[in-house]
Structure 1
Amino acid sequence: MSFGHGQGGQGPSWGGPGSPDQDPYGSQQARGGYGYQDPYEPPERDSYGTQTPDWAALADASAARGRRKRWLLVGGGVLATGAVAAIVATAVVSMNGGSGNGASGTENASGQLPTPGNDAPNQNADPVPSFPSAAPLPPADPKDFISSADKDKAPLSEDTLFPGKKLTMGDRVYLKAATTVTTNCAAATQGALGSVLASNSCDQVIRATYHKDGVAVTVGVAVFEREAQALKAKDQAQGGVASLSGSGVDTFCRAPSICRKTTNSYGRYVYFTVGGFTSGKNVAKTDEDVYAIGDDVAEFTFRQILGRGQAQASAAATEPVTQ
């Protein structure tokens, strides 16, 4: 073995068998081109002095990573599909009564699934009818039924307005005496009230008398065709209703006695009261018992008239609708 210099004086060269430039460690060409890099030889650099990457090696590495990733995805999908299939199978077996009873499981499954033919849902069946939503009609106003004779058709008499033999208001009880009905409205009045009722076409006057402990009150209900007539008669009222005696009550509240009088109306009805002592004594503002019986009888009369309207409104609400 001898030492010498290579051509151009660029460094030592190794002599030996074969080519005088043979690398004892084997160059890339000597190794068959498998990318062996001489550890003592610096990597190849470009004209700017930077290292040139091995693009072929990088491409091979990237392709290898892609193949591994695809295989991993495929393998994971297979495992996931198998797990889902196992869960579904377990659920089916549980629903069919367990894995140990195959025949029973088959019968249960077939009973739960719809069979083709007549058992299948009818796609051509008539749809369920639908109805447009509509707000319910408001309840009828009871006053509408007692504001005109056209609607106020319920029976009307002294017994329907003043039923029973006594009147109870709270803890106060009054006995009923005489009652009467007349179509001669002026005959049931005193003073100018008769002409007022007649001029407004009064139909009838219904009267009743209640009493207690020497105090009596007569209520008279004048009935008109329309509410407008009743309101006009109330506004024009003068004088008063004539007291009604009988059935245990002597004549009372006649001139020159001073008695308490009231006037009010509701719908087509005007109701008057006259109250005082059956002894003929004049009524003073301090006579609370006279005021109490007069107020109670007037309140009861109002409730009776209102009740007529409520009963007829309720009956109208339950009547079938005719087309």
Structure 2
Amino acid sequence: MVYRYESDEDAFEGRPRPGSELSTIGDAGPAHTGPSPSRFPTPSLPRAARPAPPAPPPAPPPGPAPSRGAPPFSPPATRAAATTQPLDLPRNRRAQEPGRSGGRLWQVLVGGAAVLVLLALCGLAGAALLPDGTSQPQGTPSLPAAAAPSPSHTERQDIDSRDTDRAPLTAKEVFSGRKLTIGDGEEPYAVLKTQSSASCPTAATGEVADLLVQLGCNQVVRATLRSPDEEHLLTAGLFNLTDVATAQRVRDRLRELLDGREGRFRGMPAGDGTEALTDAPSRVGWQVRGHYLAYCLVVRADGKPVKAGDPKVREVLYDLIELHLDKKVLERRATGGSTGQATAAPGGTD
């Protein structure tokens, strides 16, 4: 933003995211039964004499001892004891099997109960994760809200040239009502008069007016307003130039012309009490966006000179040029917004 005093002071610029135990049973084969061979050696008998006789032979009479090569005699009772002893161990093992079966059954019951408890807990956890009893099929992710297209989305419009931005400005578009509110909760500016004209020299004098005509200005829309504190009057508006290049040429040339007092912007009187806009020392600011030149002229309502560094004047320039004309009016036009407003403007059109 560029701004200056209409006084002897210099102009300046400024812009105020392994197994179980059960698996080893029976793998080693049947246990060894009967007496060990070392304690009950097997007699060495001829093959013909190995079958047992049908009846035991009578006891021999007392006589001489048998010969050295005869085998020792084994009493029948001892042999019977030897053959019946191995039968006791299998009977004992069969007696123990009911106990083992009972242990296995108990382990199965305990394991089954644990599985049921685990399944019940999983079911409760799943129900807690799905409120209101609703569920969503897996593999069907929900789209984020940002992915949905916005129904109010509009394409941006190129405002760098009148060839792409052909619709002319209107007073309703730039100043839509009798009050102009810059921000929520702030006191409004009073809009005293509006004007839309095809003659740009109506808003300027001298070399400034000639420069606007030479560079293709074909429209100016402006308004006179009173500040919320009623201590300042201002005239602000937009000049419509051919393209962004010519608007920038006007911007760059303005400082030289104003400093040399070769022309100025005109204040627009709006009735009684606004005469200071025509003859009081003023402060002016301007800025370019697209093929438009936004400007604002501020004076004290009492006609006194504006003090250097007056914060109220700087605030007025910023409100009108930066926040209203640029961020609101021209931004709405660049985004394809409506150019008309429902509220009637308070002024006229030339």
TM-score by length of 1: 0.50
Highest relative contact order (Cα 8 Å, sep 6+), 1 or 2?
2
Q: Give me the TM-score of the superposition, normalised by structure 2.
A: 0.46
